Structures are given as structure tokens and as C-alpha cells.
Structure 1
Amino acid sequence: MNTEPSTYFDELAAALRGAGVPANQIASTIAELRGHLTDSGTSPEEEFGPAADFAARLGGTVPAAAEPAGKAETWLWTADIYNDRRLLALHGDQGWEVEGLDTLGRFMCRRVPGAALRWEYRRELISGKRRDEVLDRLAPEGWEICGEWMLFAYFKRPKAASEGPAGALDALPERPGRWLFLSRKGKALLAVWMLLVLGAVAVTLVGVFDMPAYTAPFVALFGATGALVGLKRDATKGCRG
């Protein structure tokens, strides 16, 4: 049994190239695996199994008649902070890799048939001086930042780095038909804010109580501020939990 890590990873890289896995993905995956191996203190075979078998699990086998690897699927979706981590875990298990967040806060995902891996994600608060502390703490564990939105940063790493062969993906479920995922609490908060805005607009338009014209935007701003404070409080609890 080969126990030399450098030889093991050379064999793994060669096998992945033979399976059609892109070179940049091979380099990234092996770097993550090396980091995990350093932390675990075990040999490659003990942690991941034989190199050829592990490569087959990671890269898959692409039949000649199948769609060639490299034709990537893309998908944009979003969720509120009450279910984003659950959905990231679900979609990560289906091979969706988050490559960033757009200006609307949507996760920009990519998946390559024949070369997809399972991904795991985590969310962290990065407000104030926390950013450098969070990055320094997570980098040695193989976590890579994949997007930022307001007070939050999202991190990813292939599950192969933490679960070995169990992190490979054998089949790709169909891309979900939805793009918006709101929890019950998120829907309730949105409904309350909309009611505040509509109520303020109605009162201003009707002229009840001689309310000034700036009432509507003031109430809307007040509601939005309250919602943001509540979201930050709940997100802090969630990140610490």
C-alpha cells in the first residue's frame, strides 16, 4: 500500500485528468485534500481509499455518448437568512457550487456534468473588525469565501475535504424550477413591512389626521430599519448557534 502523500496525489491528479476533470478543479480539490490530510494526521489511503477508486468517485466516469464534461449548468436563486444555510446544504449536496452573489443577493451557482462535487457551506457575520478574524480562522480549515451580502459572508469547500469518498457525487438531480425561497418567518416580516408602507401611503393620501406628505417614506424607513435590526439579531444568534 502506498503511503507517500505526494505519490498518492500525483496518481489522483492523473486519474482525474483521465476522467475529464478540468485542471483548475483538480488543483483546487487536491489543495483542499492536502489541507485536510495535514489536519487529520492519517495516510491518504486510510482517509480516502485507493487513488484510482477515489478519483472515480470524485470525477465520475463519462460515457462516450454522454454530454461532454465542461458544458456547465448555471442557476440563480435566493433565500432569507432563516433558511439560506439549510438550502445551501441541500443544493451543495446536489453539486451546485456557489461562485458569488449578485447585486440582488442571489447565489450564482455552477455545476459541470461529469465533474461535479458535493459542496458544503457556512455563513459568518463579518461586520466591523470581524472580517479578518473570520478569514484567518476559516482558511486553515479549507474554507474559501464565495460571496458577501450586507453583513454576511458565505464560505464553501468541497465535501471531499471533510468526508473523503463520501463527498463525491454519483448522480445530478435536475435543476430546481424555483429561484426564490422564503421561510415562514421571512414571509411574515415582509408582509408586516408591506402593511406598514401601504397603511402609511393610504393615510397620507386620504389626509386623515392631517399627516404630512413625508409620513409614508418615514414609516417605510422605520419599518425597514426595524426589520434590518431584527435580521441582524437573528443572524447573530444563527451564526453562534
Structure 2
Amino acid sequence: MNTEPSTYFDELTDALRGAGVPAEQIASTVAELRGHLADTGTSPEEEFGPAADFAARLGGTVPAAAEPAEKAETWLWTADIYNDRRLLALHGDQGWEVEGLDTLGRFMCRRVPGAALRWEYRRELINGRRRDEALDRLTPEGWEMCGEWMLFAYFKRPKAASEGPAGALDTLPERPGRWLFLSRKGKTLFAVWLLLVVVAVVTTTVGAFDLPPSVAIFAALFGLAGGVIGLKRDATKGCED
């Protein structure tokens, strides 16, 4: 039995390259697998099985008619902090890889038919010194930062790094038709803040509600600040909807 990690991963790389898997994805996957192997102290064949079989499970034996990388699916979607981790886990199991977050906080995802892997994600608070602490703690475990937005950073790694062959993906569910996923609590908070904004706008433009414009504007800003503080508190506690 071949137990040399370098030879094993050379064979795995050749199999994946021959199947048309993008070089960047091969390099990332092999790096994550090497890190996992270093943590377990086992041989690659004991952990993952024969290189050819493992490559097949990772998408290495893709038919010639499989979709090329340039036809990869893309998808933008967003959620609030009360359901983002649950949805990231769900969509990660469907092969969606987060490549970043845009200025609106939407997850920019990509999935290559025929070469998709399952992904796992985690969210970390990064205000103050927490960003460097999170990177120092998670990077050795194979986690890669895939996006930042406001107080949060999101990390990803292929499930093959933690689950071996079980992290491969055999079928791809259809891309969801939605892009906005709000929890019940998220909808309530948004509705309250929107109401405050409407009151402020109506007060300053038509003088309704017998409120001084400055009071209405202050109420809207106070509501926004309160919402941010509440979100930070709930994120620290790890609240879910």
C-alpha cells in the first residue's frame, strides 16, 4: 500500500487535472486535505482510500460532456444573522462555494457542474482585535476567509477536508429561485425600522404627526443604532431564529 503523502497527492492531482477540474480548485482541495492529514497523523490511503477512487468521488472521473468551468453557475443571495449559518450549511451541502460578499451583504456563490464539492461555513465576529484572533485560530484548521461584512467575517472549507469521501457531491440540486431569506425576527426588526423611517420622512416633508422634524429624524437614527446594537448582541450569543 502506498503511504507516501507526496506520491498520493500527486496521483490525486493528476486524476483531477485529467478530468478537467480547474487548477485553482485542485490546489485548494489538496491543500485542505494535506492540512487535515497533518492533524490526524494517518496515512492518506487510510484516511481517504485509494487515490483513484477518491478522485472519482471528488469529481475526478467527469464524463467528457460535463459542463466546462466557464459555464459555472453563479448565484447572489442574502440572509440575516438569525438564519445565515443555517442557510450557508444548507447551500454548502448543495455545492455552492461562497467567493465573497458584495457591498449589500449578498453572498456571491459559484458552482461548477461536474466538479462541485460540499462546503462548510462558519461566521465570526471580527470587531476590534477579533479579526486577527479568528484568522490565527481558524487558518491552521483549514478555514479560509471568504467574505467580510460589517461586524462579521465568513470562513469556508471543503467538507472533504473534514469528512473525507463523504464530502463529495454526486448530484446538484437546482439553484433556488429566491435571493432574499429573512427570518421571522429579521422581518420584524426591518419592519420596525422602516416604520420609523417613514414617520421621519412624512414628518419632515408634510409636517404630519405634530412632531418636530428633528425628533422624527432622531427617532429613526436611534432605532437604527438600537438595531445594530441588538444584532451585535444576538450575534455574540449565537442566536438563531
TM value normalised by structure 1: 0.94
Which sections of structure 1, spanning at least 5 residues, go unmatched?
none
Superposed counterparts of 1:1-241, under 5 Å: 1-202=1-202, 205-209=206-210, 211-238=211-238
* 15 and 208 in structure 1: CA distance in 2 versus 1, 3 angstrom threshold: closer
8 Å CA contact retained: 2:12, 2:52: yes
State the alpha-carbon separation in 2 of the partners of residues 178 and 81 from structure 1: 17
Structure 1 residues 109-167: Cα deviation after superposition (integer angstroms, max 9, x where no partner):
01111111111000000000111111000000000000000000000001000000000
Cα displacement (A) at 1:202: 4.4
Cα displacement (A) at 1:86: 0.5
8 Å CA contact retained: 2:67, 2:112: no
8 Å CA contact retained: 2:66, 2:114: no
Structure 1 residues 25-77: Cα deviation after superposition (integer angstroms, max 9, x where no partner):
11111111000000011111111111101000112433234433442111100
Cα displacement (A) at 1:17: 1.1
- 2:26 is aligned with what amino acid? I
* 174 and 60 in structure 1: CA distance in 2 versus 1, 3 angstrom threshold: farther
Cα displacement (A) at 1:200: 4.1
- Paired residues, what number? 238
8 Å CA contact retained: 2:55, 2:61: no
Cα displacement (A) at 1:103: 0.5
Which sections of structure 2, spanning at least 5 residues, go unmatched?
none
Cα displacement (A) at 1:201: 4.1
- 2:22 is aligned with what amino acid? P
- 2:15 is aligned with what amino acid? A
State the alpha-carbon separation in 2 of the partners of residues 141 and 61 from structure 1: 28
State the alpha-carbon separation in 1 of the partners of residues 60 and 215 from structure 2: 60
State the alpha-carbon separation in 2 of the partners of residues 231 and 183 from structure 1: 13
State the alpha-carbon separation in 2 of the partners of residues 49 and 90 from structure 1: 27
8 Å CA contact retained: 1:78, 1:107: yes
* 75 and 186 in structure 1: CA distance in 2 versus 1, 3 angstrom threshold: same
* 199 and 171 in structure 1: CA distance in 2 versus 1, 3 angstrom threshold: same
8 Å CA contact retained: 1:70, 1:113: no
State the alpha-carbon separation in 2 of the partners of residues 29 and 220 from structure 1: 47
State the alpha-carbon separation in 2 of the partners of residues 213 and 35 from structure 1: 59
State the alpha-carbon separation in 1 of the partners of residues 74 and 93 from structure 2: 16
